[in-house]
Structure formats: C-alpha cells, structure tokens
Amino acid sequence: MRMVEANGVALHVREDGDPNGAPVVFSNSLGTDLRLWDAILPHLPAGLRMVRYDKRGHGLSDCPAGPYRLEDLVTDAEALLDALAIRDCVFVGLSVGGLIAQSLAARRPDLIRAAVLSNTAATMGDAAMWEARMEAIRTGGLDAVAEAVMDRWFGKSFRHDPSVALWKNMMIRTPQEGYLGCCAAIAAADLTESTAALALPVLGIAGAEDGACPAERTAATVGSIKGGRMETIPATGHLPCVEAPEAYATLLTQFLKEIGHV
C-alpha cells in the first residue's frame, strides 16, 4: 500500500506493470475507488507503468472538509504526477476523472501527451440535479440514492449481475463528505471552452446505455477537440471498464499503439 502526499492530501496510490515503462494514469469516477480499473489491467500490453489513485474523499485517501472545487481535484492530480516524476503520460479519466483529465491537459500539457475521456463531457448534469442529489444524501445518506446510481452505472444486461451488490457497497461506503464534496465540484464545472482548445490526441469512450453521461454528450465534447476520436461500447452503462473490460482494454491498447505509447 502506497501513500503519496499531494497538495497537502494523503492519496492512496497503486502502481502496476513496469516502473520504467511508458506511464498511463487512471482517474476514477464519483463513488468509486481505484479498484474500478482492476479488470482491464490484465488485458493491457506489457511494459506500461500503470498508476491508479483514489481521489480525495474516496477510497483510502484523505477526506478533507468539503465542498471541493474541480480545481482542488486537478491540483491533487497535478501534484501527484509531479511527486511521481511522471511526464508525458496517457491520462485515462472516467466521469469526474475525465473532467480532471480535460482540465489537467489544458493546464499542464507537459504532464499529459494524450487523454482518454471516458463517460465524461465538458459539463456533467446541471446544478438543480446535483443539488437534489446532495440534498437527498444529506437527509438519507448515500443509501438513499444508491439504487438510482446503480441504474445509471450499469447497462440492462449487467444490472442484475451479483457483483453489482459489491459496487453498491463501494459507493455507499464512500465518505459522505468526500462524495458531497465531489458532487459540488462536478456541479460547478464547465470546461466547454478550455476543452475545445485542447491540442493533444484524445480518445473518447462511451457506454451505449450510460444513464449518467449519455454517449452523445461524450461524443459532442470529443468532437469539439481537433483530432478527437470516439468509440462507443455496446450494451454498457457508465462503467464500461467494469462491464466490458476486454473491449475497453482493446480500445485503449489500439489508442496507445496509434500514438506510439507502446
């Protein structure tokens, strides 16, 4: 187990693969920890340095008092990459992790040579939707919204897989302060202008049945980036790396080859 202090926050970090390999950094979604990526790692090519972390308020990382701004989450990621001496990585961000990827790529192009924007967009939801979710959680805890969240996370064919009970446990065991802190960050984020100005290779990945960030929202954001390319994985929801890990890893591997990262 590894701790890296970044931006004054103790972050839980895990590295797999070749410590001297080309770096790929994974940033996960609201209510998930770094286990989100477990199933795809065995399907990725050898020779990569694969870095995962729990963002603040999630998993084993510190949970500072909220609310957070997207800026806080981005500064954490920036400080983490600096602390790990990572440059020119491929940054794979899913959902709020994709907001972090977009913002970090705009701010620190020296850190990121290419980005994968998975199940994300330049804006996610609207203020009223996030306020309603936060209010339901303040009143009833994470349990109060968990089933609705599972409906958005998973496509129809996976929704009743026995493992969904464990993903739900992961979500409801997220510190409430950390979850709400990140909701506030997502609600206020609008990266429309800075993302359209990005100049790096971008692969967009969507789930055809994503109820949290519909595929057309990801496609619109990726389409705003010159040279951005889009893929949609059939019969998956918001977490296609969980539902279809081989398909997800194949798309990622193709992209890594295209840009000469492997």
Contacts with ligand LWBT4IAB by CB under 6 A lie at 29-31, 95-96, 124, 149, 152, 186, 212, 238
Q: How many CB atoms lie within 10 A of CB 223?
A: 14
Q: Which is nearer to ligand LWBT4IAB, 124 or 256 (CB)?
A: 124
HSE, CB side, 13 Å, CA atoms: give it for residue 177. Answer: 8
Q: Are 206 and 234 in contact (CB under 8 A)?
A: no
Coil/strand/helix, residue 84 = coil
Distance of closest approach, residue 22 Cβ to ligand LWBT4IAB, in angstroms: 26
| Residue nearer to ligand LWBT4IAB on the CB measure, 48 or 158 | 158
| Shortest separation between residue 92's beta carbon and ligand LWBT4IAB, angstroms | 14
Angle at 21 between CA 19 and CA 25, to 5 degrees: 80
CB of 124 to ligand LWBT4IAB, least distance (A): 5
- Residue showing the smallest CB distance to ligand LWBT4IAB in the complex: 95
| Bridge-based pairing state of the strands 89-94 and 229-233 | unpaired
109 φ/ψ angles, rounded to the nearest 5 degrees: -60, -20
Which of the 8 DSSP states describes residue 36? G
Q: What angle do CA 40, 26, 141 make, to 5 degrees?
A: 95
In the complex, minimum distance from the CB of residue 55 to ligand LWBT4IAB, in angstroms, rounded to a whole number = 10
Residue closer to ligand LWBT4IAB by CB (options 48, 150) is 150
Q: What is the residue whose two structure tokens read 């064919």?
A: 157
Closer residue to ligand LWBT4IAB, CB minimum distance, 110 or 147: 147
Least Å distance, CB 31 to ligand LWBT4IAB, is 6
Tell the smallest beta-carbon distance from residue 262 to ligand LWBT4IAB (Å). 27
Closer CB to ligand LWBT4IAB, 123 or 232, in the complex: 123
Q: Parallel, antiparallel, or unpaired for β 202-207 and 229-233? A: parallel
Nearer to ligand LWBT4IAB, 74 or 212 (CB): 212
